[in-house]
Amino acid sequence: MSLSAANQGHPSPRLEADFGVTVHSALLIVGLGKTGLSIARFLAQHGLRFAITDTRENPPGLEAFRDEFPDAAVFLGGFNQPAFEASSHLIMSPGVALDHPFIQAAQRRGVHLMGDLDLFAAVCEAPILAVTGANGKSTVTTLLGLMGEADGKKVRMGGNLGTPMLELLSRETELYVLELSSFQLDTSHRLEPLAATVLNISPDHMDRYQDLGAYAKSKQRIFKGQGAMVLNRDDPVVAAMLEPSRETFWFSVEDEAADFCLREVSGETWLCHREHPVMCRRDLKLHGGHNVANALAALAMGYAAGFSEAAMVRTLSSFKGLPHRTEWVEQSGGVDWINDSKATNIGACVAALQGTDQPVILIAGGDGKGADFRELRPVVARKVRALVLMGRDASKLQAALSDLVETRMVDTMKEAVSAARSLALPGDVVLLAPACASLDQYKDYQERGRLFAEEVRKGAP
């Protein structure tokens, strides 16, 4: 197998000490895309040889990869067995499931299996704040990055959110804030963050994990090392991750005994650090009750990182949220239209529904990733007045929920918005919170949310 032989640098001593990576190693990047390309660039900068394989004929990033690494071996349209057999290390892109027979066989032969997170941890020289959870991790990651900047630190944030983590590395950075997916954590062995949090656990990626316990165990890997643990007291699965010997900060919207909690002060609800009021809830710009929990989690992480309270409050008082995450689009005819296209699993959909007090016309559907949609029944029965369903698993949602509320089946976003408009009454909310991934119909959840907003703003025909 011909491998690339870039010699622009030297491998980090920790790469050799921790993973046995040397200039003589045969490294196979499994999966291209943004992360695979960032791995290739990192390896080249360290003078390491690599090849790449992908099941897709034309994966994202292929043109850039060929331009930058014309001599690298590339195996597309299916995994190449000889490439796996010739490799000393497999460096996994997070989108690739680890149960493929070639990957399993390589592990049995003693081949090292790692991901971009291990590469990052091996060379990173600044503290890391690490965030994961089924829902809210992008919001909390962004809040922490902004809090750090408001506190005067040189911060870089990314990972599963935005910029691949290997492209964040720089000597000037004083703090890294990483959003981490369960897939990235699955191949992590050396992460040692200053502070880490699992925000919550709810069913997601059940097409990739055997059960919820396996998914939670994957998330729990973020707590490797001896840094501070930030735990959600309201989530029993997360609360059970406690390690008594570790410094721990609890957050809760229900329990005033938590380190970061809600309390009534002079007739108003305040976000508090134990008995100390930090900021009034009505000054929080984020929409939805679930974002109060996200704000408390960010305060807990920021406190563990040593941020000033003033910097954290300034950030929380100005941050209005991320696009496609309970994003208010407009109000027309007394109806509010909310874009939560990022609600790609059941837990996120439940959080979005619980965050509103108005009757909801819910637009849902897409790729359910093996989820059991019956888990939506209690909140749909309480909050939803009508359902508009679309996408690959619309019929599964219909089977699970249509006995509870009026249901319309549609094929396109244009039809979904039109159906919702015909169902909505003044005082209602039309909420796009699909409880499903978007890739069955769209490039990503951003495209789905953008098309929703475009159709809403076109108005009634």
Q: What is the 3-state secondary structure (H, E, C) of 220-289?
A: HHHHCCCCEEEEECCCHHHHCCCCCCCCEEEECCCCCCCCEEEEEECCEEEEEECCEEEEEHHHCCCCCC
pLDDT in tens, 88-105: 999 999 989 999 999 999
Q: What is the CATH number of the domain that holds 177?
A: 3.40.1190.10
Q: Which of 199-208, 343-352, 382-391 has the lowest mean pLDDT?
A: 199-208
Tell me how far CA of residue 375 lies from CA of 232, 379, 452, in angstroms.
21, 9, 25
Q: Is the dihedral of CA 168, 169, 174, 178 positive or negative?
A: positive
Average the pLDDT over 352-376 and give the result. 93
Band (2; pLDDT cuts 50, 70, 90): very low
Q: Is residue 4 one of the residues assigned to a domain?
A: no
Average the pLDDT over 389-416 and give the result. 97
Q: Provide the pLDDT for residue 95.
A: 86
Residue of 80, 135, 160, 232 marked active site = 160
Q: Specify whether 272 is located in the same domain as 151.
A: yes
Q: Specify whether 158 is located in the same domain as 280.
A: yes
* Mean per-residue pLDDT of the chain: 93
pLDDT in tens, 26-49: 999 999 999 999 999 999 999 998
Q: Provide the pLDDT for residue 460.
A: 59
Domain that includes residue 351, residue range: 327-456
Band (415; pLDDT cuts 50, 70, 90): very high
Q: Specify whether 71 is located in the same domain as 144.
A: no
Q: What is the CATH number of the domain that holds 398?
A: 3.90.190.20
Q: Is residue 7 one of the residues assigned to a domain?
A: no
Give the percent of the chain with pLDDT over 70. 97
Kindly report the backbone phi and psi dihedral angles of residue 330, in degrees, each rounded to the nearest multiple of 5, phi listed first: -170, 170
Instruction: List helix spans (H) across 20-136.
Output: 33-45, 62-68, 81-85, 101-108, 116-123
Q: Specify whether 19 is located in the same domain as 138.
A: no
Residue of 89, 112, 137, 396 marked active site = 137
Residue 288: pLDDT above 80? no
Band (300; pLDDT cuts 50, 70, 90): very high
Q: Specify whether 238 is located in the same domain as 352.
A: no
User: What DSSP character marks residue 437?
Assistant: B
Q: Are 358 and 381 in contact, with CB atoms under 8 Å apart?
A: no
Tell me how far CA of residue 195 lies from CA of 138, 191, 226, in angstroms.
16, 11, 9
Q: How far apart are CA 80 and CA 63, in angstroms?
A: 20
Band (461; pLDDT cuts 50, 70, 90): low
Q: Is residue 282 one of the residues assigned to a domain?
A: yes
Q: Are 199 and 292 in contact, with CB atoms under 8 Å apart?
A: no
Final residue in a domain of this structure, among 318, 336, 363: 318
Q: Specify whether 207 is located in the same domain as 73.
A: no
Q: Specify whether 381 is located in the same domain as 407.
A: yes
Q: What is the CATH number of the domain that holds 109?
A: 3.40.50.720
Average the pLDDT over 396-423 and give the result. 97
Q: Specify whether 235 is located in the same domain as 332.
A: no
Structural domains of the chain, count: 3
Q: Specify whether 295 is located in the same domain as 356.
A: no
Residue 327: pLDDT above 60? yes
Residue of 46, 205, 273, 383 marked active site = 205
Final residue in a domain of this structure, among 114, 142, 171: 114
User: What DSSP character marks residue 442?
Assistant: S
Q: Specify whether 242 is located in the same domain as 153.
A: yes
Q: How far apart are CA 51 and CA 173, in angstroms?
A: 30
pLDDT in tens, 120-175: 999 999 999 999 998 899 999 999 999 999 999 999 999 998 899 999 999 999 99
Q: Are 8 and 47 in contact, with CB atoms under 8 Å apart?
A: yes
Q: Provide the pLDDT for residue 374.
A: 96
Band (9; pLDDT cuts 50, 70, 90): low
* Burial label, 224 (beta-carbon count in 10 A; 0-12, 13-18, 19+): middle
* Burial label, 240 (beta-carbon count in 10 A; 0-12, 13-18, 19+): exposed
Length of the chain: 461
Q: Is residue 150 one of the residues assigned to a domain?
A: yes
Asked if 324 is an active-site residue, the reply is: no
Q: Specify whether 149 is located in the same domain as 286.
A: yes
Q: Provide the pLDDT for residue 4.
A: 40
Q: Is residue 176 one of the residues assigned to a domain?
A: yes
Query: Looking up tokens 């502070």, which residue turns up?
Result: 195
Q: Which of 78-82, 319-323, 387-391, 400-404 has the lowest mean pLDDT?
A: 319-323
Q: How far apart are CA 239 and CA 54, in angstroms?
A: 38
Q: How far apart are CA 21 and CA 43, in angstroms?
A: 10
Q: Is residue 161 one of the residues assigned to a domain?
A: yes
Residue 274: pLDDT above 70? yes
Radius of gyration of the chain (CA): 23
Residue 3: pLDDT above 50? no
Q: Is residue 199 one of the residues assigned to a domain?
A: yes
Band (324; pLDDT cuts 50, 70, 90): confident
Q: Specify whether 312 is located in the same domain as 410.
A: no
Q: Are 435 and 346 in contact, with CB atoms under 8 Å apart?
A: yes
Final residue in a domain of this structure, among 259, 290, 318: 318
Q: What is the dihedral of CA 110, 115, 116, 120, to 10 degrees?
A: -60
Asked if 160 is an active-site residue, the reply is: yes
